Amino acid sequence: MLNLIEADRLPDQPHITPGALDAAIRARGDAGRDLPASRWEVAQDAAGRIVGVVVFASPPGDGAGQILALHCREVHAVAAALIGRALTALGRTRVVEAFAGPPPFNPQSPAGLAVRLRPATRTTLEAAGFSTRHTWHGFHHALKNRPSPTTYPIACVTGRGDPPGWHLELRQVDGSIVCEATVDRAADRTAVLTSMTTHPDHRRRGLGRHLLGQCLNVAAEHDAREMTAWVREPDADSEEDDGGAIQLLAALDFRPGETLRSFRRRP
C-alpha cells in the first residue's frame, strides 16, 4: 500500500513513512477535522495484490461525508470501484466531499487532488457526480546556488520545528508587524511558502515582494533547491482577487505548476 500512495506524491509533499502509514491505519485518524474514525477499504487483483485504497469518514447526523484519500495508480476501473464503495457506505442521499483536506497519513500535505498528475481519478469523480469546490494553483521557483544580497528592511527570522521551517516578519520601529510569511521545509530539498500576509495599511508598498525575496534567500541558505507556493482561486461569489498574489509570484520568477482541486457531490 505504501508504494501505491507514494506513486501519487508531489515533489513538495513529505514522503510517507511505514510508521506514519501504520499509525494512521491503527488510529483511523482524520487529520484533525472533527470527523469520526475513518474507514479504509482496498481493491485487490486476481493475485491478491493491492491495486487501490480509499479512505473515507462519515460524521454523525447530516454532516457531509468525506473521501479523505484515494489511490489507484490511475486505473479508471479501480477508481470507479473504490468511489462506488465509498458512496455506498457514506450514503448516496447525503452531501459528500472529496480531497477537502490533507490525507490522514500525511497531514502536512496540502488539500486537493493533483488533477494533472491524476486525470483518471478526476474524471471518475466527475462521472460519479462530483464537481469542483475549491481550486489551488501551484507555482515553482528554482533557487540559485547562492542567495541574493538582502536589502533593508531585514526580516526577523524564527525557526520552527513542527512542521520544520521558518517564520519571517517585517516590523516597524515600534515592533508592530507589517508583513509576515511562513515557509515549510518539505521533502527533496523543497521549501513551501505556506502563508504571506501584509497589513492592510501597508499594502502596495512593495513589502510583499521584499519579504518574498528574503523567504527565497532563507530557503537557499538552508540548501533548498526549489520553492513552491499555492494560491487558492476565489469562489465564484467571492469578492476576493488572487491576481495580486499571482503577479507577486510571477515578479520573482515563479512558474505555474500543478493544480489541486477539492470536490463535492450533492444528492
Using CA atoms, how far residue 10 sits from 141, 161, 193, in Å, is 15, 22, 15
**CA Rg, the chain, in Å?**
20
Domains of the chain: 2-135 (3.40.630), 140-261 (3.40.630.30)
Indicate the burial class of 45 (C-beta count within 10 angstroms; 0-12, 13-18, 19 or more). exposed
pLDDT tens digit sequence for 75-129 = 999 999 999 999 999 988 899 999 998 888 877 788 999 999 999 999 999 999 9
pTM: 0.83
Residue type, 204: R
The answer to whether residues 141 and 257 touch, using CB atoms and an 8 Å cutoff, is no
- The residues of the chain scoring below 70 in pLDDT are 27-36, 145-151, 236-243
| pLDDT for position 242 | 61
| pLDDT for position 37 | 73
Beta bridge partners of 134: 262
Looking at residue 119, what DSSP letter applies? H
| pLDDT for position 30 | 45
Q: Nearest-CA neighbor of 97 among 108, 112, 107?
A: 112
In this structure, the strands spanning 226-232 and 177-185 are unpaired
Residue with cell 501551484: 138
Which cell goes with 253?
A: 520568477
| pLDDT for position 31 | 44
